[in-house]
Every structure is written in C-alpha cells, then in structure tokens.
Amino acid sequence: MGKNVVLIGMPGSGKSTVGKILSARLNFGFIDTDSLVKDAEGLSPRDIVSKHGLEYFLEAQERTVLGIDVQDHVIATGGSVIYGAEAMEHLKKGGTVIFLDTRYRDIEERQLPGRRLARRDGQDLLALYRERLPLYRKYADMTVDCTGKRADEIADEIFSLLNEKR
C-alpha cells in the first residue's frame, strides 16, 4: 500500500468531510486539493472557471496535484481530478485511491444553490455524473458504497479496508 489515501468522487460525495475524520483516525495529515488550487491561483475553483474557463481550471488543478509530494496524508481531491490522467497516475503511485460511490439522488440533494462545478457549458449534473462515473471506477483501487452511511461510518469502513489490505 502506498503511504497516502486519496479520495475521489463527485462533488457532494463527502470527500473532505470523510477525509478529515479518516486523517484523524489514521493520524495522517489532511490535504484538500481544491484548497491548494485556491492558494496557488488566488481564486476559488468556482471563480477560476468563471473567470478563465474550464480548461484553464483543469490545467491548474493538474499542475497543483502533480506538485503534491507527501506521505502519510489523506488527500481529498476535487471531483474533476479524474480528467487529468497524469495527475491520477501521480496520486496512484503515492497511495491508495478510494472512490466514494454516492448515488446520484444524494449528490443532487447536497448541491448548494449556485454551486458551479467543473463542467462544460450547458452540461447538467446528471450528464456530468454519468460522464465521470466510469473514470472514478477506472482509477479506484477500492470503492466504498456510501448509500445511507454517515461520514464517520464511511471513514470507519475505509479504515477497516486499509487494515485488511496491509
């Protein structure tokens, strides 16, 4: 097993919330790649997409992820990280990639009004979900079904899976 635990999934799947709980449980550091992108660019991911466009944001995200060089961290990624093959290979080399598989209905309910996701103009949330699902599955070393589970239960399940893998 690599030294890091990398969480992937749709926006609203709980990557940051679960990641913070899991990092405390593992006694690991915690990184949120959206925060790293914001620090590097001086704008939130939402504002980057609004001001510079989707392609610029995806490139900034990939640059940021490729710059991560840590061990013993839980890394909560932005939902669009799976579009960067080089970034995903970098993350996989450094750790175990876990897909937080969350039902579309739950994702839809968790979206805050006005939240801009990294998507093409005119693409609705369902189309984005359907586009990304195969990519999340492609890159995942493990998948956790998050249906009906609280964040602490998901973190406990990941903790158990990681211990079984050792």
Report DSSP state, residue 166. -
Tens of pLDDT, residues 55-77: 999 999 999 999 999 999 999 99
Q: Are 45 and 34 in contact (CB under 8 A)?
A: yes
Exposure string over 134-161, b if 16+ CB within 10 A, otherwise e: ebbeebbbebbebeebebeebbbbbeeb
| Strand 142-145 to 29-32 pairing | unpaired
Residue found by looking up tokens 């939902």 in the block: 79
Mean pLDDT of the chain: 90
| Structure token digits, residue 142 | 């493990």
Complete domains list, the chain, with CATH? 4-165 (3.40.50.300)
Q: What digits encode the pLDDT tens for the residues 98-107?
A: 999 999 998 8
Kindly tell me if the per-residue pLDDT of 116 is higher than 80: no
The tens digit of pLDDT for each residue in 26-48 reads 999 999 999 999 999 999 888 89
Kindly state the average pLDDT of the residues 139-143. Answer: 97
Q: How confident is the model at residue 1 (pLDDT cuts 50, 70, 90)?
A: very low
Beta carbons within 10 angstroms of residue 126's beta carbon = 11
List own/partner pairs for 23-29 with CB under 8 A and 24 or more apart. 23/73, 23/74, 25/155, 25/156, 25/159, 26/72, 26/74, 26/159, 26/162, 27/72, 28/4, 28/72, 28/73, 28/74, 29/70, 29/72, 29/73, 29/74
* 99 CA to centre of own chain: 8
Phi-psi region of 122 (alpha: psi -120 to 50; beta: other; left: phi over 0): left
Q: Scan for tokens 């914001």, then name that residue.
A: 38
